[in-house]
Amino acid sequence: MQMYAKGFIDKALGNLDKTLEEDPGFFKPYHLKGILLAMQKKKDEAIVAYAKAVELAPNSIELKMDFAKFYLNNELKDEALKLYQNILENAPDSPDGHYGLGLIFVQENKLDEALQELVMAKDIFQKQVPKEGEELPANPNRGHVHYQLGLIYKQKGDAEQAFVEFTQACAEYDVLLKKLSAKAAK
């Protein structure tokens, strides 16, 4: 990612290819390759890399969420839907899976269905409690859920509930920013 950020895209991809030659069974280089190819707008190549990563790590919700997000960004809603459904089949209490389904329903302007999925994601996130001495991992979807709910309530004319959700989104983003800043400082 550092090579990519400095403009050495081909070198970054070349290093990933070398890593894959040495360890073709490790999913993370495929995932990173998918991300880099997506940034280059090489959709078909990115799909191949992401698909290989998912094949190697079929239980990684984070990976599937990233792949589904890629699909949504490239207007491949059916493929994204399959991934979100797969996440929920394997982990019914995944707030990320419900958030993803909510996003699809928002795009389809099915606000009641979106509201149902997003409220479910919100409820699951709120029930998550860190183990003693630990903290919840940084997850931007905690804030995104509230933001999307705010948009829906605003569209439905419920300004008061929209305000509540937007305020909560800001609070979640603030927590996320603090966690990421602390991590970067280490």
pLDDT tens readout for residues 30-58:
998 899 889 889 999 999 999 999 999 99
Could you list the residue range(s) of the whole structural domain that residue 51 is in? 1-58
Look up residue 97 and give its two tokens: 């899976």
Helices (H) and strands (E) in the chain, counts: 10, 0
User: Which band of pLDDT confidence, cut at 50, 70 and 90, is reported for residue 1?
Assistant: low
Is the residue at 152 inside a domain?
yes
Point out the least confidently predicted range of 5-19, 100-114, 130-144: 5-19
Q: What is the pTM of this model?
A: 0.83
Q: Cα separation of 109 and 98, whole Å?
A: 16
Is the residue at 133 inside a domain?
yes
Q: Do residues 113 and 29 both lie within one domain?
A: no
Is the residue at 63 inside a domain?
no
Q: Do residues 131 and 49 both lie within one domain?
A: no
Q: Do residues 53 and 81 both lie within one domain?
A: no
Nearest to 57 by CA among 98, 25, 35, 83: 25
Q: Do residues 93 and 185 both lie within one domain?
A: yes
CATH number at residue 29: 1.25.40.10
Looking at the predicted structure, is the pLDDT value of residue 184 above 80? Answer: no
Q: Average pLDDT of the chain?
A: 91
Look up residue 72 and give its two tokens: 């949504």
Q: Do residues 181 and 112 both lie within one domain?
A: yes
Q: Cα separation of 80 and 86, whole Å?
A: 10
Q: Do residues 33 and 81 both lie within one domain?
A: no
Q: Cα separation of 1 and 77, whole Å?
A: 27
